[in-house]
Amino acid sequence: MAVPSGGFPWITLIVLLPLVGVAGILAAKEEMAKWVTFGVSSLVFLVSLPLWAMFDDATPAMQFVEKHHWIASPSINYAVGVDGISLPLVLMTTFLTPLCVLVSWTAVETRVKEFMISLLVMETATVGVFVALDFVLFYVFWETMLIPMYLLIGVWGGPNRVYAAMKFFLYTLAGSVLLLVAIIVLYVYAGERSFDVLTLSHAVYSPSLQAWVFWAFFVAFAVKVPMFPFHTWLPDAHVEAPTAGSVVLASVLLKLGTYGFLRFSLPMLPDATQRFTTVVMVLSVVAIIYGAYMAFAQADLKRLIAYSSVSHMGFVTLGIFALNAQGIEGAILQMVNHGITTGALFLCVGMIYERTHSREIVDNSGLAKPMPIYATFLVIFGLSSVGLPGMNGFVGEFFVLVGTFTWSKVAATLAALGVILAAVYILWMLQRVVYGVPAQHVASKLYDLNWREIGTLVPLVVLVFWIGLYPKPFMDVMHASVEKLIHQDVKVMLVEAEPSSFPPTPVTPDVIASAAEAETR
Amino acid sequence: MTIPLADLVVILPELIVVGAACLLLALAPITPSTKKDWLAWMSVATLVVCFIVTMNGMGERVYAFSELVVVDGYASFWKLLLYVVSGMIVLLSIGYLKEERIDLAEFYGFVLLSLTGMMIMVSGADLLVVYLGIELMSISLYVMAGFKRFEAKSMESSAKYFILGAFSSGILLYGISLIFGAAGSTRLVEIAAAVNARGLNDSLVLMALMLLIVGFGFKIAAVPFHMWTPDVYQGAPTSVTAFMAVASKAASFGAFLRVMLEGFGGVKPNWTGLILGLCILTLILGNLVAIVQTNVKRMLAYSSIAHAGYALIGVVVAGWIGTEAGASSQGVASMMLYLAIYSFMTLGAFSIVAILRRGGLEGEDLDDFTGLAKRHKVVAFVMLLFMVSLAGIPPTAGFIGKFYLFMAAVNAGLTWLAVVGLIFAAVSAFYYLRVVMVMYMREPTSDQELETRLALSPAATVVLACAVAGVVILGLYPGPLVSFTSSAALP
């Protein structure tokens, strides 16, 4: 069931290299810290590329698997590997970390060494979560990231950073409390006496046990996503976090929750998943509309993007719990898209904040004239967030809506409403920030992007259009794994039961209509 | 009457320690004040010798003095832990006592005497022997708590500790006398036989059991017998506080569990419920009251109460009529593991308090930690490690300790207790992280920069290094300790 790493420990290298970087930073001088970090994180990205190149699309099995004993009794292993679900997320994480370093180049002035160390530890922990094939190992990485993230928000954040950091920490910690118990319960009661994720995925549990464990998992993952009504930590954390912290938070950390659903909830608890699908779908739809509605009302750019995250992550959970191939593939793609687009938007906000020291829309309006390059980037990422056809957001949302449509026409219609709302709040934001009346008191501080900043954003633009125009390489990677998840693990026959309903054409005009509306506004 | 040599060999470590203690006390007055460190190094050497002796003596269960004393893996585990802890306390005290101007050489003698008491406790196979051990430990601690003779707080601490300690010893002794009435002996083996014969509903045994639990409850500082802890811990010299919070707690747990399992193993349903109640109360009160503390030493006192609550989970599991064979011994092993890990992190945290000075005083206030990360990066990071570990967050040892405890609880069918424990672990993160917040997220004020300093003697550096190594290594590679505790656990 698992393909070994072929002798070379690629994944361990990706996980450990950032820690080597930490040692390097400790040895380096203060002003060299960012160079070391940038070098190491770029190296990690380069090392992660062969994973993609050598990845075998045809098999749903875990690949590049490494397994070493960690603790003998109970048997806990250092077991890592990737499949089509985790590979895109690993690549996204390694891709974004160097960009986080770049955007912090001048923005972080105090305690640079510690900042860079926190960033690298975050990378280790997040990649570790995506590749862990042992439940305890997963939990260790899952919790470890709390400390560096707490410090990132609390030390380098905005004026209310201490409150936001503590709120973030306690929320996510409280959420994971039940996760640990659930992991132990699965070990003890599953009959397998194993923490191996694949073994646990194949075990069969009684429906009542599944229900309990499902909700324990749900709270932990839903806090991280964050799903309505567990989202209240997110706006505070985002607003107070430094730019790199926001990017890591939005692009990587939120994905951990949805990844948890895909990796654990669905395959391990198929009966409970199907039983409670409706609840999760309703919460997702609420999150989509509520998040969009809240984003509409924000005057603070970061807060606006934070609420748009709630809305976009609602699409991801919607796609996952539609429990069909289109929905889940769309969800995974949407996870990557959200990482790229929202990460990019946070980078943009960080760049303007560095100039005007304000995140208020009124202070940052009318940027098209003084900062044309910046305005171009902002419009591109804004439209990508809206889901304009030809850009990445469209593909993901389209698949999610197709998947949702087969589950419930009402849910799909309501979710499509969220797309329209997204168009409203993003375009209104763009209208004010890019084309609005210039704010006089900041005019002197405005200067356009420098080469470092352009270099930070260009790779993201490339991805926006690549995924938007030619998503096949990304979809191919995940296809086999998602098929296996649907058919073998969750054993859902929704698509098979009604082959005639696919492709469900009625959804398409809906999305395109909304997207078209976005264009016309 | 002659004492057989074989019996003396069994208690060789105790003999060495008590001999060294007497020697130190005799040497103390005639040692010139410049050479007092030598006595500290002598006691460390004694502990090293004892460590080797105990390691070599590990093996089958051996009784001595007609079943008054027992040496088994369980006793050896506690003794080894106690040697390490005492050694670290002695090393920490070298610099600390000088800073506090209480560097009397008797101190090290009392540490060793107290240690002897603890060793007797965990090796006692007879309630009176256990009681003797408790008294020897406690009386030495009363003296040590009042070592800052010129300070009212320290005297208060000592007096409070003495009165409540004597009170609890009285209760314990009362329980012992009742069980003597029921069993006709104070030997655990015979108590077990008598208790089994009398059955679950015997009021005399129940009464004795209750009094014993109350008596031990005082020693391990379980709620509602914890009242003395905060004042005593806050008032005592910090290295003594650390010794009380770690060594005396570990030894009391060791003796408590042996008495319960080997003496009252036949009436488990009678005491698990009671201890379960204590456990939950301790978790709730310890964690909630710790939140409002602004003095780090006092916060750590409440935290040590809370951690007693976690360790009690192990005791409950050990006594729970588990669904599965081995569940009970898993509870014992997880408690041993937890207390071993607890020792390192708590000792580490107290060491930081001890080396942090503001003027001539200890930097025990939360404000004294303000902006520590800017002034002393390494020390602040080390404190962060201890706090994170105390909160039970991986990859530190604190997580491993909690993980095994909750494993044992779920395995015994006590899933809800694991949930309660974990909820309070999340609560505890709040007050531990507040220390981190103060260190990392507040700016040091200018006058504090002049005032707060570190009194980091080389020996204290070794202590911190040991504690950090314990917290990190046991967190990343707990395998050896885990297998040691599970092989040494009482069945």
Residues of B in contact with A71 (CB under 8 A): 478-479, 482
Rounded Cα gap, residues B415 and B166, in angstroms: 38
Residues of A in contact with B482 (CB under 8 A): 71-73
Whether A112 is in a domain gets the answer no
> In this complex, do A187 and B482 lie within 8 Å of one another by their Cβ atoms?
no
Sequential pLDDT tens for chain A (521 residues): 456 656 788 888 899 999 998 998 888 888 888 889 899 999 999 998 888 888 888 888 888 888 888 888 788 889 898 888 899 999 999 999 998 888 888 888 888 888 899 999 999 999 999 999 999 999 999 999 999 999 999 888 888 888 999 999 988 888 888 899 999 998 888 777 888 888 888 888 888 888 999 999 999 999 988 888 888 888 888 888 888 888 988 889 999 999 999 989 888 888 888 889 889 999 999 999 999 988 888 888 889 999 999 999 999 999 999 888 888 899 999 999 999 999 999 999 888 888 888 888 888 888 888 888 888 999 999 999 888 888 888 888 888 998 898 888 888 888 888 888 888 899 888 888 888 887 777 777 778 888 888 888 999 999 999 988 888 888 888 888 888 888 776 665 444 444 444 444 444 444 444 544 444 44
Rounded Cα gap, residues A311 and A317, in angstroms: 10
Whether A375 is in a domain gets the answer yes
Whether A498 is in a domain gets the answer yes
> In this complex, do A162 and B482 lie within 8 Å of one another by their Cβ atoms?
no
Residue with tokens 């655990």: B188
> In this complex, do B410 and A147 lie within 8 Å of one another by their Cβ atoms?
no
Q: What is the mean pLDDT of residues B38-61?
A: 90
Q: What is the mean pLDDT of residues B158-178?
A: 93
Residues of A in contact with B388 (CB under 8 A): 147
> In this complex, do B394 and A151 lie within 8 Å of one another by their Cβ atoms?
no
Whether A124 is in a domain gets the answer no
Cα B348 from chain centre:
13
> In this complex, do B399 and A143 lie within 8 Å of one another by their Cβ atoms?
yes
Quote the pTM value: 0.91
Q: What is the CA radius of gyration of chain A?
A: 22
Give the relative orientation of helices B415-441 and A161-189 as an angle to the nearest 10 degrees.
150
The closest of A472, A485, A403 to A60, measured between CA atoms, is A485
Among B372, B393, B484, which would you mutate to test the A interface (most chain A Cβ atoms within 10 Å of its Cβ)?
B393
Rounded Cα gap, residues B255 and B130, in angstroms: 7
Strands A76-82 and A62-71: antiparallel
Rounded Cα gap, residues A230 and A209, in angstroms: 24
Q: What is the tally of structural domains in chain A?
A: 1
Token pair for residue B194?
Answer: 């008598």
Q: Which of B393, B419, B479 lies closest to A72 in CB terms?
A: B479
pLDDT, greater one: B35 or B54: B54
Q: What is the pLDDT of residue A511?
A: 47
Angular region, A158: left φ>0, alpha ψ -120 to 50, beta rest: beta
Whether A320 is in a domain gets the answer yes
On the question of pLDDT at B433 being above 70, the answer is: yes
On the question of pLDDT at B11 being above 70, the answer is: yes
Search chain A and give the residue with CA nearest B478: A71
Range of the domain at A315: 276-521
Q: What is the pLDDT of residue A2?
A: 58
> In this complex, do B482 and A169 lie within 8 Å of one another by their Cβ atoms?
no
Which ipTM was obtained for this model?
Answer: 0.92
Q: Is B452 exposed, middle or buried (0-12, 13-18, 19+ CB in 10 A)?
A: buried
The closest of A170, A161, A172, A165 to A129, measured between CA atoms, is A172
Query: Rounded to whole angstroms, what are the CA distances from B315 to A361, A428, B482?
Result: 59, 62, 17
Whether A135 is in a domain gets the answer no
Whether A87 is in a domain gets the answer no
Residues of B in contact with A140 (CB under 8 A): 394-395, 399
The answer to whether the peptide bond before residue A267 is cis (omega within 30 degrees of 0) is no
Residue with tokens 């300690």: B165
CB B328 within 8 A of CB B320: yes
Whether A164 is in a domain gets the answer no
The 10 Å Cβ neighbour count of residue B319 is 27
Q: Which of A136, A147, A166 lies closest to B437 in CB terms?
A: A166
Return mean pLDDT, chain B.
90
> In this complex, do A185 and B415 lie within 8 Å of one another by their Cβ atoms?
yes
Report CA torsion sign: A321, A322, A327, A329. Answer: positive
Q: Which of A71, A161, A188 lies closest to B410 in CB terms?
A: A188
Residue with tokens 């909690």: B402
The closest of B476, B475, B383 to B437, measured between CA atoms, is B383
Q: What is the pLDDT of residue A491?
A: 60
CB A40 within 8 A of CB A28: no
